[in-house]
Amino acid sequence: MDEVNKIQISVVVPLYNEEESLPELHDWIVRVMNANNFTYEIMFINDGSTDNSWAVVEELKAKNPNVRGIKFQRNYGKSAALHVGFEAIKGNVVITMDADLQDSPDEIPELYKMIKEDGFDLVSGWKKKRYDPLSKTIPTKIYNGVNRMISGIKLHDMNCGLKAYRSDVVKSIEIFGEMHRYIPVIAKAAGFQKIGEKVVQHQERKYGKSKFGMERFINGFLDMFTITFITRFGKKPMHFFGLIGTMFFIIGFLAALWLGIDKLFIDTSGRLIAERPEFFISLTCMIIGVQLFMAGFLGELIGRSSATRNQYLIEKEI
């Protein structure tokens, strides 16, 4: 792979209104690359910035041919920026980091070693010591704890922007919506099981302010359930909806059967079945069961017409 692809490291930097930090970040990355004799490219993804960030990227490109840039017409979000960057990179190892100088480029050599020498598919940074307010760190700890429990991936900081990947990983996965928080989950679902973690240095924000508010924690938990469902049942929705629907229908049917037997042979008071609340509960269960079963059936029909219904990742062929 290295003989074909001469670029050892691609650094992908999504950015939104970070004009002040870009020159310093660029110079820092270049110092690290030159000190370690890495061949590299720096891919800046301008996610619809409204300041002079793109002009700064153009200036950096003019003095450094290893700089590349992509500019979005408007703000699409970090997932879109990473997805486009992953499609465009040429390096054997991909490093992602935020543009706000809170991620340290000094971590790059060790991350590269963990991918190339230790054999990891993906290495996620862990900001063990953070310089964020409690309003951000406490929800983050809760979010990561729930995520570890649901996904089974033992990472302390799933959403850390500083990560390293084998190029095969980023070329094999698709990121959309706000799923950048769950790239390790997506990678694991795609068959990349060697996921590691490295304690990294967290810098205090030097310029500007955070672009993320408290709503990201709410959206993060909702996205967690979305990605869990997609990775487990995306190609087999009937296994989810059909199973739950069948259970509801059986419960409702058995309850209705019991009411019928009770009416005919046990309860001789003459009270109508329709006057008993159990009748409506059983009827509701059967209706919900049928609806869930039909949802699974429709999901299977939609899946059969999907362009990716037979898309599988082939690791090797001889």
**Whether domain 9-233 has CATH 3.90.550.10:** yes
**Residues 164/156, Cβ–Cβ less than 8 Å:** no
pLDDT 10s digits, 151-191:
778 888 888 889 999 999 999 888 887 788 888 988 988 88
Average pLDDT over every residue of 116-145: 78
Mean pLDDT of all residues in 58-77: 93
Q: Which residues of 223-235 are buried (b: 16+ CB within 10 A; e: fewer)?
A: bbeebbebbebeb
- pLDDT, tens digit, for every residue of 240-274? 888 899 999 999 999 999 988 888 888 767 777 87
Q: Residues of the chain with pLDDT > 70: what percent?
A: 84
Per-residue pLDDT, averaged over 272-291, amounts to 90
Predicted pLDDT at 212: 56
Burial degree of 275 (CB within 10 A; 0-12, 13-18, 19+) = exposed
Mean pLDDT calculated for residue range 111-124: 95
Domain residues of the chain, as ranges? 9-233, 238-304
Q: How far apart, in Å, do the first and last CA atoms of the chain sit?
A: 16
Least confident span in 34-38, 41-45, 60-64, 208-212: 208-212
pLDDT value of residue 4: 42
Residue 209: pLDDT band (50, 70, 90) is low
pLDDT at 57 over 80: yes
Residue 131: the pLDDT is 62
pLDDT at 250: 95
Q: CA-to-CA distance for 259 and 281, rounded, in angstroms?
A: 11
Rounded to an integer, the average pLDDT of 65-89 is 92
Average pLDDT, the chain: 84
pLDDT at 38 over 90: yes
Token readout for 311 is 């898309």
pLDDT at 218 over 80: no
